[in-house]
Chains A and B, each alone.
Chain A
Amino acid sequence: MTANLTVNLTMAVVLAALYSAGFYLLMQRSLMRILIGTVIVGHGANLLLQLAGGPPGRAPILGDAAPEQMTDPLPQAMALTAIVITFALTTFLLALAYRSWVLLGHDEVRDDVEDRRIRRLERRLAESEDDKANEDELEREATQ
């Protein structure tokens, strides 16, 4: 376990690339893209976890290497756990995408219906500056 712990430039760029790509995909509407985005960010996170242990070294297996040469085992164990958890959630999200496709015929995340209603209402209220309209608008919106 060496002293120089700074994540090197190459790895920093990889991290930046993975997180950027993942974040970008996360902000899309296609659930499959979002899902891929989470997978990529997950990869980035797992890599980061591994890197948090320090620079490369020998596998932390007694007998194969001296303890000083070994990489830090704890982040590896945590990365392993994280990998499995990410995998579990990925499959779930995949099933969700599938279910969404079966039910809706697409796998997109559309805007929330109820929020859209309130946005409509907001626009209508902004147009009519009359106070009295308020309650009536609300009731009309609600009962339509």
Chain B
Amino acid sequence: MSAFVLVHLLVALALPIVARRNTGMAFAIAALPPAAALTWVLARSGAVLSGDAIVEEVPWSPLLGLEFTFRLDALAVLMTLLVSGIGVLVLVYSIGYFHAGSGDARRSAPLLLTFAGTMFGLILADDLLTVYVFWELTTVCSFLLVGQAGISRESRRSALQALMITTMGGLVMLLGFVVLGEAAGTYRISEIVAEPPGGTPLAVAASLILVGALTKSAQVPFHNWLPTAMVAPTPISAYLHAASMVKAGVFLVARLGPVFVGVPEWWLPTVVFGLITMVFGGWRALHETDLKKLLAYGTVSQLGFLMVLVGQGTYAAALAGAAMLLAHGMFKATLFLVVGIVDHQTGTRDVRELSGLGRRMPALATIAALAVASMAGLPPMLGFLGKEAAFGAFLEEGGGTGLLIDFVLLLGSVFTVAYSARMLWGAFARKPGVAPTGGKQPGAVLLVPAAIPAFAGVVLGIGYPLTDELAGSYAAVYGAGVDPLHLELWHGFELPLLFSVVAVAAGLWVHAMRVPLTALRRRLPKPLDAQRGYERIMALLERTAVGVTGRTQVGSLPTYLAIILLTVVAVPGSVLVYHAHVPADMALHHNLLQIPLAILVIIAAIAVVRAKRRLTAVLLVGVIGYGIGGLFIVDGGPDVALAQFLVETLTMVAFVFVLRRLPARFTKGDAARSLRWPKLALSVAGGVVIALGAVLFSAARQQPPAVSADFIAQSEEGAGATNIVNAILVDFRAFDTVGEISVLAVAATGVASLVLASRFDRRRRSSRGAQATAPAERPGVVLSGNGNGRRQEEEQS
């Protein structure tokens, strides 16, 4: 199975080369891997449906529980029909749909194939992390496919929205997976199903995982990315946003359902959100004039329906869910492809502009009618099977809840019938006052792929035992019970049939009442505008980002340094102060000479702070340096003192070299007056903290310095030196010295690169001046976010 996934991806990787020459050929080649996968799965479906799942493991990072585990079971077979089956059809359809050689075609062929591969991987996955891997990849594919070249702002936004919402869900789901996996000790789904963990982790995992499923399957209130994603080319909508990807959430719920049987955090949200979504989607679909949008809301509605079914966690609901899953994939793919054909041939998909197309393109209309019939739940279509079973499933459960659910489902079904009618009417009916729509007849390459699932809906409906076996072997995960529900065209005169009849009748009535209803909708308040909600959240995000960044990232170096210092004072400093008990034996001095030198250094330090002239400050720093050199001598460190004196002098010389060119005085108004005292307070606090640290840490020493005793002992014999400091520098710790001279070398090189740069500037300027009469002065320019070569006035003036 991994091989099939891999083949998808590898072929997709190579596809751009083909697509550059011949896009039709590219789509044709792209159809091969899913076709092969489908064939392979169907060939093994017999065994699989009888319970012999095929399992394959590809280890990845066992330590993290990462492995690719694939398991072909009934649900996977069922999903393969949608993923690979519809995939092949869509890819073939794309040959006719996309303009040969267009950018969209070149992009879409490999991406669609990649998507098919990842989706195939997803449905086969028997490992939570494997699921996640493919899950996110489908999201990325969707982003790229929706956005295409991202020419229009709308396409960019839609792609981004789809990405953000589904990724958000995906990430939360990942968290849920980790919670579940860590609680169960394994990420293998079949193992978790066999032995689910209990307690809080399970409930938490359920909630988290559902977020992923609900977003991916466009449940209210996350649904809105789906209608906006309709900016994508129609084959993509048909494949990703109707037949396969949006089913991922439903699939996941179906897959993990057995784990969460009886967990209220699992089934309650699925039912509640599912029902709301079903009704809401149906209601919205009633008012769309764009056929694609209409179908999109229809999809939202159907996804809600599916969610209710697969989330329930009973055999009957699962059976109905499996049937509906299949049915929806079939009819919705057909309808999208049909709308694609309509759009492709006529240039419009607006119900207000289309008229009389049924007469002009009867084959297309027939195909559409078959699909619509399935969608509306008319016998003997597959959709009818599913819907009957669904009604039956909740009735079977009995009690008020089941009935309540059934009533809401009925309401949803009414809307479904109504928008089904609207779809057929909108696309094909002749409308008074609208000119008959023209357009070429579609070719077989477009028609056949659309027709196949439509007819499959019929075949699977009439051949209901086959469907029952398919769906039933999935539903068996919940245990079939003594008298399990079966998918049948005829259950007898029972409540489900009544529901179906009512739904059709009421739905047709609703369609008839479309004009007043639309008016009604305009008058109704809009309590639930998900699109606006999304926009608000994103705006809030931007606002927060700018707000936080604008307030913290002030761009002022003194502030940054102050923050660092403040951290030092506040964090380790406060700990030090808290633990401070100054040692009792603390001396005033160890050597009398320390005092005058200290006074010298302290006065000089204070004077430096107050110095107004640069050279004065430098000379005072020199005094500090020499004073410290003196302290080194007093301390018994002639080597350090020598180095200190030498370095101090050289530093001073270097300073003086540079100060020749700088103004004598420091820039006035160096610091805002108001900040002077806080800064002073902070620096004094910093100084005191460090001095305190010096006292406390030095007082805390318990052992004599063994290392240094070693040095003293070994210096003469081992390093051939009586000057131990030197022995340390060139022998014991010679590596430090090597590093240190590297720093010196680097600094000298850096100084050269900085100082001599002006020489190069001059040279360049003069050579440029010789070439043209261009102005000699080049303004400093910013190459940054807003750096459009604008002068930095602030920097220059």
Contact = CB atoms under 8 A, between A and B. Distances in A.
Interface of A: 1, 3-30, 32-34, 36, 39-40, 43-44, 46-48, 50-63, 67, 70-74, 76-81, 83-92, 94-99, 101-119, 121-123, 125-126, 131-132, 134-135, 138, 141-142, 144
A89 B747 CA distance: 6
B725 interface: yes
Given A20-B688, A59-B638, A113 B608 contact: no
Contact of B549 (A18, A96, A111, A118): A118
B621 interface: yes
Interface in B537-580: 539-540, 542-543, 546-547, 549-551, 553-558, 561-562, 565
A20 B704 CA distance: 31
Nearest to B637: A76
A61 to B, nearest CB: 5
A134 B550 contact: no
A13 B704 CA distance: 25
B662 interface: yes
A12 B694 contact: yes
B691 A16 contact: yes
Contacts of A62: 712, 715-716, 722-724
A117 B99 CA distance: 45
B680 A24 contact: yes
B736 interface: yes
Contacts of A132: 539
A124 to B, nearest CB: 9
B609 A24 contact: yes
Contact of B786 (A97, A101, A104, A114): A114
A63 B535 CA distance: 81
B643 interface: yes
Contacts of B684: 16, 20, 24
Contact of A125 (B536, B546, B602, B713): B546
B3 to A, nearest CB: 46
B591 A56 contact: yes
Given A17-B605, A81-B729, A10 B705 contact: no
Given A87-B650, A90-B651, A8 B587 contact: yes
A117 B786 contact: yes
B671 A28 contact: yes
Contacts of B551: 119, 122
Contacts of B670: 28-30, 33
Most buried by A among B551, B561, B634: B561
Residue in A3, A28, A52, A135 with the greatest tally of chain B CB atoms within 10 Å:
A28
B40 interface: no
A88 B698 contact: no
A4 B666 contact: no
B182 to A, nearest CB: 39
A109 B784 CA distance: 18
A46 B651 CA distance: 15
Nearest to B730: A77
Given A30-B670, A77-B729, A134 B651 contact: no
Which 9 pairs show the lowest CB-CB distances between chains A and B? A115-B555, A122-B550, A20-B687, A112-B555, A88-B747, A23-B683, A19-B687, A16-B691, A24-B683
Given A29-B558, A74-B708, A88-B744, A79 B590 contact: no
B699 A19 contact: no
Given A21-B605, A60-B725, 16 more contacts: A16-B687, A23-B686, A28-B670, A43-B625, A53-B705, A60-B637, A61-B638, A62-B723, A70-B636, A71-B635, A72-B705, A73-B725, A84-B741, A91-B751, A102-B758, A138-B542
A134 to B, nearest CB: 4
Given A87-B651, A91-B747, A122 B705 contact: no
B38 interface: no
B728 interface: yes
A114 B755 contact: no
B795 A91 contact: no
Given A40-B608, A79-B640, A8 B588 contact: yes
A89 B536 CA distance: 50
Contacts of A81: 729, 736-737, 740
Contacts of B695: 6-7, 12
B705 A74 contact: yes
B589 A105 contact: no
B interface SS class = helix
| Interface secondary structure of A, over-half rule | helix
B702 to A, nearest CB: 10
Interface stretch (B110-118, B242-250, B397-405, B653-661): B653-661
A111 B618 CA distance: 26
Interface residues of B, number: 126
A105 to B, nearest CB: 7
B614 interface: yes
Contacts of A102: 757-758
7 contacts: A10-B595, A18-B687, A39-B621, A48-B694, A52-B697, A118-B553, A131-B539
A16 B712 CA distance: 32
Contact of B724 (A29, A60, A99, A104): A60
B690 to A, nearest CB: 5
B743 interface: yes
Residue among B644, B682, B691 facing the most chain A CB atoms (10 A cut-off): B691
Interface in B351-404: none
B743 A27 contact: no
Given A23-B683, A25-B608, A111 B556 contact: yes
Given A1-B708, A84-B647, A7 B694 contact: yes
B594 interface: yes
B585 interface: yes
Contacts of B565: 23, 26-27
Nearest to A69: B636
B482 interface: no
Given A15-B687, A116-B555, A122-B547, A85 B740 contact: yes
A80 B635 CA distance: 14
B785 interface: yes
Nearest to A11: B594
Nearest to A131: B539
A119 B796 CA distance: 21
B691 A13 contact: yes
Given A27-B561, A119-B550, A135-B542, A17 B606 contact: yes
A83 B786 contact: no
B682 A27 contact: yes
Contact of A71 (B637, B686, B694, B722): B637
A112 B549 CA distance: 13
A11 B598 CA distance: 7
Interface in B116-166: none
Nearest to A64: B722
B598 A13 contact: yes
Contacts of A60: 636-637, 712, 723-725
Contacts of A32: 614, 617, 662, 666
B763 interface: no
